């Protein structure tokens, strides 16, 4: 028999961890003195302690480790699922590290640019099917946007048109019906816009749930933030753009907050607002 101290030394598990594993049913001592509560272990329990340590080291929760021990037949599937989750978390962490490097190296600042007029194909991005949340689900919004964008590009190319610029999304507020739905949890909240080059025949072939529109040339104030969208990033971008005119001379112009769009880049999102004269706003 091994004392808890000896067992702790062999397994390299602190006594408090052994007590916790005992309470959770992962590693139950061979004997527990009823009078003193003193725990002793058999030497062959080192093998189970090693397995528990390996499973916990992989990131499995105590609940899942207990499931592996109680239901060995489920272990392979559970570890496979856990492996997928670990890769997803690592991807999120890697992306966050990349964002941090960019932000700490040089904080993004708004810039003024001229945007040419163009023909765009517009389509509504479906909103979430579930009810309201305590936060805006940007992951869902980005996923739905990517799927809709793929559909638009496929439609455009099948009609002989050519994608001729970076797509963007704008708030779904171009019609009265969209404006009513845009403020609900179900939405839709966004429209995807794809710049295209096409002749009259190709444009005429576009139909169904896409709309051909003319985007008017304009000057914009824009800011690029790294990585995927989030509430904090969106709020930061809007705040920076709105505050910019108070800190810089724009020659009698202001940002039109209702004319916002987000240009989609591979590793960043560019939020832009139109610059208009005060008498035009």
Domain map of the chain by residue range?
2-70, 111-280
Residue 144 in this model has a pLDDT that exceeds 70: yes
Average of per-residue pLDDT across 187-199: 93
Of the two residues 130 and 146, the one the predictor is more confident about is: 146
CATH entry, 2-70, from 2.40.10.10, 1.10.1660.10, 1.10.10.10, 3.40.50.300: 1.10.1660.10
Q: Which long-range contacts (CB under 8 A, 24 or more apart) does 39-46 make?
A: 39/4, 40/1, 40/2, 40/3, 40/4, 40/7, 41/1, 41/2, 41/4, 41/7, 42/1, 42/2, 43/2, 45/7, 46/7, 46/10, 46/11
Which residue matches tokens 């993004």? 108
Of the two residues 136 and 148, the one the predictor is more confident about is: 148
Average of per-residue pLDDT across 271-278: 91
Residue 266 has a pLDDT of: 86
Residue 25 in this model has a pLDDT that exceeds 80: yes
The reported pTM is 0.73
Just give the CATH number of 111-280.
3.20.80.10
Question: Which runs of E-coded beta strand occur in 84-188?
Answer: 111-115, 118-125, 162-163, 168-171
Residue 278 in this model has a pLDDT that exceeds 80: no
* Share above pLDDT 70 across residues of the chain, in percent, rounded to a whole number: 97
Question: For 29-53, how does the pLDDT look when each residue is reduced to its tens digit (9 = 90+)?
Answer: 999 998 898 999 999 999 999 999 9
Residue 133 has a pLDDT of: 58
Range from 72-81, 132-141, 246-255 that averages highest in pLDDT: 72-81
User: Taking all residues of the chain, what is their mean pLDDT, rounded to a whole number?
Assistant: 91
Residue 119 in this model has a pLDDT that exceeds 70: yes
Residue 259 has a pLDDT of: 87
Residue 19 in this model has a pLDDT that exceeds 70: yes
Average of per-residue pLDDT across 248-255: 88
């Amino acid at each position: 028999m091994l004392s808890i101290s000896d067992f702790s030394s062999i397994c390299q598990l602190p006594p408090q961890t052994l007590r916790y594993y005992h309470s959770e049913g992962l590693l139950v001592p061979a004997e527990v003195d009823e009078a003193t509560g003193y725990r002793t272990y058999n030497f062959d329990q080192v093998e189970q302690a090693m397995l528990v340590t390996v499973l916990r080291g992989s990131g499995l929760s105590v609940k899942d480790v207990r499931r592996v021990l109680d239901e060995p037949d489920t272990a392979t599937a559970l570890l496979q699922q856990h492996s997928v989750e670990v890769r997803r978390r690592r991807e999120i962490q890697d992306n966050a590290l990349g964002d941090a490097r960019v932000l700490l190296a040089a904080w993004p600042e708004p810039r003024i640019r001229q945007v040419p007029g163009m023909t765009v194909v517009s389509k509504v991005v479906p909103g979430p099917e579930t009810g309201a949340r305590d936060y805006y689900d940007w992951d869902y919004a980005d996923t739905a946007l990517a799927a809709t964008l793929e559909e638009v590009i496929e439609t455009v190319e099948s009609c002989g048109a050519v994608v001729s610029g970076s797509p963007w999304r704008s708030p779904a507020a171009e019609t009265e019906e969209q404006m009513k739905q845009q403020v609900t949890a179900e939405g839709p909240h966004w429209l995807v816009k794809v710049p295209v080059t096409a002749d009259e025949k190709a444009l005429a072939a576009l139909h169904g749930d896409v709309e051909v529109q003319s985007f008017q040339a304009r000057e914009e104030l824009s800011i690029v933030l790294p990585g995927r969208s989030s509430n904090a990033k969106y709020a930061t971008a809007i705040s920076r753009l709105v505050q910019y005119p108070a800190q810089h001379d724009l020659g009698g112009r202001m940002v039109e907050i209702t004319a916002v769009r987000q240009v989609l880049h591979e590793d960043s999102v560019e939020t832009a607002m139109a610059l208009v004269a005060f008498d035009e706003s």
